[in-house]
Each structure stands twice: as structure tokens, then as C-alpha cells.
């Protein structure tokens, strides 16, 4: 990328311009396909200056930043009556995720030069943020007759950092003469997987973290996800979030993007291999072929100087490369057979167990529920229900389980509650002995057993109510109605679940039908190009397929505008090529349009417009100017396709 600016600008001003441009351009994208959402930080509207003290002939950058807003409207900057606007407004936006907390921002920046000396206050900007009017803070700048030494030095070596980035990354932007591009990428961009341990027992959780390390400017996407066969997998972060941090490797800071972080519970003994992840990257460099700079350093300042130097010979260079992590082998040991308790059911970790009932005074033939809760850390999701030693003359049913587990904690922690329904058939004291749970502790490599307190109930005489008895067919046995209902339900579970599933399916289809009707009302169907006979002329009339998109533009409804425009363009292409939906992809339509005589300039514009529409659907960036420009591009595309 080469940029030319006026030769009369100072290095200080050039640096401010480049910072503004870079902030809106150098955004690292990492894409993955699994689902949970990152936690967004607090909404902020802030005014920031590059310096609070400058000289009469110096430049200062003022930036108005809105963080973590879902929708921004009418962002208005104040008047700069004591300053001359040298450059601006410059819009920028981006997002970073640090330790699970996402920060997204939109900024408006200006480069100013003071008109006179003195102390000046620049009022805050205003905007409608998420439907509410907000004001940023004001900033005060002292302008002296002489230039500020501190200011000049600070601007001569500017620092660019993403919001929330904990440490500056000295990125490798330049490809120096004689450097091997593949070797340079290998040293500054790589993928690896970290595991908490490579030797464990069956059922003992371990953590595997797949990371992308980068010191270059690149766009990356995951093309092959690791196979985690042989494990129960519990993701610790949202795989769709670009969780970024900074780590040092061989003394150099790298931006680290977490591709996937998950807890793995081995299911069987043996040797298991964690397959690699594959990431496809497009890496960007600026190749400096100027003889005068053959031995210059690869600093960010040199990068700025080359971009603003009319005599520099900077050539953009791109390199596509596919990276993969090295496979990692996990040795899974079997649980020891020696001293294994008879009631051991596979629990591995460290646990406690408790038991209780809500009501300790019940009547015979009435149903009650025993709750047994297992708490602790380990393979809690796969822990089975403990065995209960029920008293005689007790009717029991299979237990159900409820989990309250924090899957971001390592090892997995929380509780799992088992509910046992039972019916005592005799009056008197009803005693449930202590419930035992045996587990294997991997830290001590030994089995341990914990137990709950016994549960004591008092069972009274069965309450007899009118019509609460049932005589079983073919016998004279009298059965309480409540007990009969439970027995009937137990004997006909398949019918019960069939009815439940059919009812759920019918409800789902009904809700989908309602949703479809609402969607049709919210977004009118795309008007297709049709011909209708004119009253007095046989020439067909062509209806504009962008009609609805233009109406949305007039209403300033950008949330639906981009979706409608994107769909309209796809429909126009589909009609032009007479293609089914299964064959509509960007690569295919480009080839077919060119074979129909559509020039490459039009197909490139179509591809760029579709990409921009898709990007606008997932970013809070909003500009009436952008909407108008994209709509004009779409009109140009439609006209070109109609002529071809």
C-alpha cells in the first residue's frame, strides 16, 4: 500500500495521519464455527487528545471514541473555532476480546493546528447511542508560542495499539531486500496447541488450547478443526469469539488469538492423539526496494516514513500460507484395579455427597422425593447416580439428574443433583441409610469414599379421600389412585413420549408459521424484474429490482437495508444466469457472468459489494454516505447485467 501526501507536511503530522489510517485498516480477523457469547464491557463515550500541550506550529489529534455500542446514530463533532482542521473527519471501528471481555469501538478523529496561543477547551461530541442521547467529555489544550519538546518527541515515534491491548506489538510490516518471505512468516506467524498435561487417568480432565501467534498483518480463517475423538469435550470459551492476548516467545511479544480452548475427559485407556488445527492465512508485507533503505531497521516509524515519502519504492506483497499445529499425543492410564471399591461408578476428581427430603412427615402411599447432591471438581458431567439402599416395602423409580456446572472452571466444578421418587407403603419410621460415593483422586492416585448423613422420615396413616381408590381389573386388589396413576404412567411411557413429541412438533411448526408471516410483513418480497404489457405500447416495462432497498435507504433503516440489498443482488444474478440456489456462490457466478459477456470490472464490483453488504450486517458501523455509495454500486451492477 502506497500513499502520497503533500510535501510540506511535517513528520509529526504525517505520523498522526498514518495512525488514523492504520487504525481503520489493520484489523485482524479470525473466524471459527462453533457457538456462546463474549461478555461486553461498559458503554463509554470519550474524547482523547494526542497531547495536552503543543506549540503554535504543532499539530494535535483529537479523537471521539464510542465503545461497546450496539447502534450509533447522529455522531456530531463540536466546532473547532480556535483551530484549523488539517485532516478529518476520519472514521474508524474495530473490536478486540481480552480474557473473555469484548471491546468494540467506533471513533471519529481530526488532526488540528491551533490558530493562536492560549488555553482552549474543545467541547465534547454528541451522539445517539443505543437510542439515548450521550455527550463525551471536553478536552483542554495549552498552546504556547514555542513548540513543545515533549510533544514533538512523542509524535516522532508514535505508538499504535488496539483498545485493550496490554502491550505494544512491534509488528513485521516490511519485507527487507534479500529476506525470504516464507522464512519471515515462519518466524512471525505460527499455530500451536498447549495441553495442561500429556499423561492422565481415564476420566481425569485436561485442558487443550489451540492458539495462533502473530507478529504480522494478516487475515486468517480456520479451515480444519481438530478431531477430539476419544474424549468428552467441554468448551471453556465461545469458539466464535476472537479472544486475544499478548505472550512473549523468545523475548518478542506476539498477539495470541485463541482458536479453541476446551476441557477433555478421556473415555478409555491408551494413547490418543489430538489432531492439528489448520489455519489459512493471507499475509501482507510492504516490500522496500529503495537502495537508500537497504539496511534500514524494520521499525514502525520506518513503515510510516515509507508510506509518506514520495521517493520511497514501497510495493505491497501478499503471501498465502496454510499453517497447522503439531499433533499432540496424550497417554491415558487405566484406573487401578487394586483397592477399587465395589460401588465405584467412574467418578474421578474430588467430591462430597449430601442427601435430604423436603418434608420429613409424609403419609403412606404418598409420593416423596429424595435429593442426592454430588459437589466437587472433576468429571462431574459423567458421574452416575449413587445407589440408594431403600427400606423394604418401598416403591421406587429411576432417578433424574440436574447439573449446575461451571465449564469455564478447571477442572469442571459445580454440583449434580439426583432426584429419586419413592412411595413408602407402610406407616412408622422410615430410615434411608447413608448414601456412599466412591471416587478416584488423581492427585493421590488412590480411591476415596464419602457418604451423606442418613435420612429419617415419619410415615403416617394413608389419607383416604373420596374416589381415591382403584380396583385393579381382574383382581380384588385395592390400589390408591395416585399410586395407580404412577403405575399406569410407568407402564405406558412410550405413548406418553410419543404424544409429547408430536405436541412439541406441532407447536414448533405453528410458531415457525407465525414467524414466517412476521418476516414477510417486516421485509417485503424482492420485486423481480417482470414485464407487463403497456396500455398503448407493446414494449415491456422493466421493474427496478432495487426498489425496496431504495425505500429502506430513504427511511435510513440500515439494519434491513444491507440484508435487502444483498438479497436483491443475488436474485438479479440468479435471474440473469437462470441458476438454482445450490449453484449460487461467488466463484461460480463470476465465471458464468464473464462467459455471458459481463466484463471483469463489473464482476469485481459485484463481489466487493456483496462482501461489504455481508460485513455491514455484523458490524455496528453505520454511515449514510456508505449506504448511498453501496446503493449506487448496486445500480451500476444491475444496469451492466441488463445490458450484457
Residue 475 has pLDDT above 70, yes or no: no
Task: Please provide the average confidence, as pLDDT, over all residues in the chain.
Answer: 77
Lowest mean pLDDT among 363-367, 575-579, 613-617, 619-623: 619-623
Contact 141, 120 (CB under 8 A): yes
Topology alike, domains 11-156 and 342-460: yes
pLDDT number for residue 530? 37
- Highest mean pLDDT (candidates 51-65, 232-246, 436-450, 612-626): 436-450
pLDDT one-digit tens code per residue, 314-332: 578 889 999 999 889 999 9
Between 14 and 67, the more confident residue is 67
Confidence of residue 2 (pLDDT cuts 50, 70, 90): very low
* pLDDT, tens digit (0-9, with 9 covering 90-100), for 528-567: 433 344 444 444 555 788 888 888 888 877 768 888 888 8
Q: Where are the domains of the chain?
A: 11-156, 174-331, 342-460, 547-643
Residue 465 has pLDDT above 80, yes or no: no
Average pLDDT of span 478-496: 62
Q: What CATH number should be reported for the domain whose range is 11-156?
A: 2.60.40.10
Q: 488: cis peptide before it, omega within 30°?
A: no
Q: For residue 431, what pLDDT is reported?
A: 92
SS3 382: helix
pLDDT category, 340, cuts 50, 70, 90?
very high
Say if residues 119 and 266 touch (Cβ distance below 8 Å).
no
Task: Give the span between the Cα atoms of 71 and 397, in whole angstroms.
Answer: 53
Q: How far apart are CA 266 and CA 254, in angstroms?
A: 32
pLDDT at 36 over 50: no
Tell me the mean pLDDT in the region 123-149: 86
Buried b (16+ CB within 10 A) or exposed e, 457-475: bebeebeeeeeeebeeeee
User: What pLDDT score was predicted for residue 101?
Assistant: 55
pTM of the model: 0.46
- Residue 103: band (very low, low, confident or very high) from pLDDT cuts 50, 70, 90: low
Q: Which of 249, 246, 40, 280 is nearest to 162 (CA)?
A: 246
Phi then psi for residue 300, to 5 deg, are: -65, -30
Q: Classify domain 342-460 at the CATH class level.
A: mainly beta
Question: Cβ contacts of residue 384 below 8 Å, gap of 6+?
Answer: 345, 346, 347
For residues 169 and 246, give the distance between their C-alpha atoms in angstroms, rounded to a whole number: 8
- Return the higher-pLDDT residue of 373 and 93: 373
Task: Check residue 96 and give its pLDDT.
Answer: 53
Average pLDDT over every residue of 25-54: 60
Mean pLDDT of 59-85: 87
The 3-state secondary structure of 548-567, one letter per residue: HHHHHHHCCCHHHHHHHHHH
Rounded distance between C-alpha atoms, residue 423 and residue 435, angstroms: 18
Give which of 471, 372, 380 is closest to 419, Cα–Cα.
372
Residue 471 has what pLDDT?
Answer: 43
Contact 296, 309 (CB under 8 A): no
Q: Smallest Cα–Cα separation from 390: which of 428, 430, 427, 436?
A: 430
Torsion angle, alpha carbons of 623, 624, 625, 629, to 10: 110
pLDDT at 374 over 90: yes
- CA distances 229 to 266, 267, 272, 273, 398, Å, are 9, 9, 8, 9, 31
Amino acid at each position: 500500500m502506497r500513499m502520497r501526501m503533500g510535501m510540506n507536511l511535517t513528520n509529526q503530522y504525517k505520523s498522526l495521519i498514518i495512525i488514523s489510517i492504520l487504525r481503520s485498516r489493520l484489523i485482524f480477523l479470525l473466524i471459527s464455527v462453533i457457538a456462546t457469547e463474549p461478555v461486553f464491557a461498559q458503554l463509554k463515550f470519550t474524547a482523547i487528545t494526542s497531547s495536552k500541550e503543543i506549540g503554535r506550529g504543532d499539530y494535535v489529534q483529537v479523537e471521539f471514541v464510542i465503545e461497546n455500542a450496539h447502534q450509533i446514530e447522529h455522531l456530531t463533532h463540536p466546532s473547532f473555532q480556535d483551530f484549523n482542521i488539517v485532516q478529518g473527519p476520519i472514521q474508524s471501528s474495530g473490536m478486540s476480546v481480552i480474557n473473555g471481555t469484548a471491546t468494540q469501538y467506533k471513533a471519529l478523529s481530526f488532526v488540528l493546528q491551533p490558530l493562536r496561543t492560549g488555553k482552549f477547551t474543545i467541547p465534547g461530541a454528541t451522539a445517539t447511542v443505543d437510542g439515548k442521547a450521550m455527550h463525551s467529555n471536553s478536552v483542554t489544550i495549552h498552546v504556547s508560542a514555542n513548540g513543545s519538546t515533549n510533544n514533538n518527541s512523542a509524535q516522532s515515534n508514535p505508538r499504535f495499539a488496539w483498545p485493550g491491548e496490554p502491550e505494544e506489538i512491534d509488528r513485521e510490516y516490511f519485507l527487507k531486500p534479500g529476506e525470504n518471505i516464507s522464512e519471515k512468516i515462519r518466524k512471525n506467524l505460527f499455530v500451536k496447541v498447549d495441553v495442561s498435561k500429556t499423561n492422565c487417568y481415564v476420566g481425569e480432565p485436561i485442558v487443550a488450547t489451540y492458539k495462533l501467534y502473530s507478529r504480522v498483518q494478516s487475515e486468517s480463517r480456520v479451515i480444519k478443526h481438530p478431531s477430539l475423538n476419544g474424549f468428552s469435550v467441554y468448551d471453556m470459551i465461545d469458539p466464535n469469539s476472537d479472544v486475544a492476548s499478548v505472550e512473549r516467545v523468545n523475548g518478542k511479544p506476539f498477539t495470541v488469538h485463541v482458536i479453541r480452548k476446551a476441557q477433555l475427559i478421556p473415555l478409555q485407556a491408551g494413547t490418543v492423539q489430538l489432531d492439528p488445527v489448520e489455519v489459512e492465512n493471507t499475509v501482507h508485507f510492504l516490500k522496500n526496494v529503495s537502495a537508500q533503505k537497504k539496511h534500514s531497521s524494520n521499525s514502525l516509524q520506518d513503515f510510516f516514513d515509507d508510506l509518506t515519502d514520495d521517493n520511497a519504492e514501497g510495493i505491497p506483497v501478499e503471501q498465502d500460507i496454510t499453517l497447522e499445529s503439531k499433533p499432540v499425543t496424550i497417554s491415558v492410564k487405566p484406573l487401578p484395579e487394586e483397592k477399587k471399591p465395589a460401588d465405584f461408578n467412574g467418578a474421578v476428581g474430588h467430591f462430597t455427597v449430601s442427601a435430604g427430603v423436603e418434608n420429613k412427615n409424609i403419609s403412606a402411599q404418598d409420593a416423596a422425593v429424595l435429593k442426592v447432591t454430588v459437589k466437587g471438581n472433576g468429571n462431574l458431567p459423567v458421574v452416575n447416580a449413587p445407589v440408594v439402599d431403600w427400606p423394604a416395602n418401598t416403591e421406587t423409580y429411576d432417578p433424574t439428574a440436574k447439573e449446575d456446572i461451571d465449564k469455564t472452571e478447571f477442572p469442571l466444578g459445580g454440583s449434580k443433583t439426583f432426584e429419586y421418587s419413592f412411595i413408602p407403603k407402610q406407616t412408622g419410621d422410615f430410615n434411608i441409610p447413608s448414601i456412599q460415593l466412591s471416587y478416584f483422586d488423581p492427585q493421590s492416585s488412590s480411591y476415596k469414599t464419602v457418604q451423606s448423613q442418613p435420612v429419617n422420615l415419619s410415615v403416617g396413616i394413608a389419607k383416604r379421600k373420596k374416589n381415591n381408590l382403584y380396583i385393579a381389573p381382574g383382581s380384588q386388589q385395592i390400589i390408591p389412585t395416585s399410586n395407580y396413576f404412577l403405575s399406569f404412567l410407568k407402564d405406558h411411557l412410550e405413548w406418553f413420549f410419543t404424544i409429547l413429541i408430536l405436541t412439541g412438533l406441532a407447536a414448533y411448526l405453528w410458531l415457525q408459521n407465525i414467524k414466517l408471516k412476521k418476516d414477510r410483513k417486516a421485509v417485503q418480497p424482492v420485486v423481480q424484474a417482470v414485464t407487463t404489457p403497456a396500455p398503448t405500447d407493446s414494449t415491456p416495462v422493466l421493474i427496478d429490482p432495487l426498489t425496496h432497498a431504495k425505500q429502506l435507504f430513504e427511511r435510513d433503516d440500515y439494519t434491513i437495508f444491507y440484508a435487502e440489498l444483498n438479497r436483491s443482488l443475488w436474485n438479479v444474478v440468479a435471474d440473469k444466469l437462470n441458476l438454482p440456489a445450490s449453484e449460487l456462490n461467488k466463484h461460480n457466478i463470476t465465471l458464468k457472468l464473464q462467459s455471458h459477456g459481463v466484463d471483469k470490472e463489473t464482476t469485481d464490483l459485484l463481489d466487493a459489494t456483496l462482501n461489504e453488504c455481508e460485513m455491514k450486517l455484523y458490524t455496528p458501523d453505520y454511515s449514510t454516505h456508505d449506504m448511498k455509495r453501496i446503493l449506487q454500486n448496486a445500480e451500476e451492477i444491475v444496469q451492466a447485467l441488463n445490458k450484457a
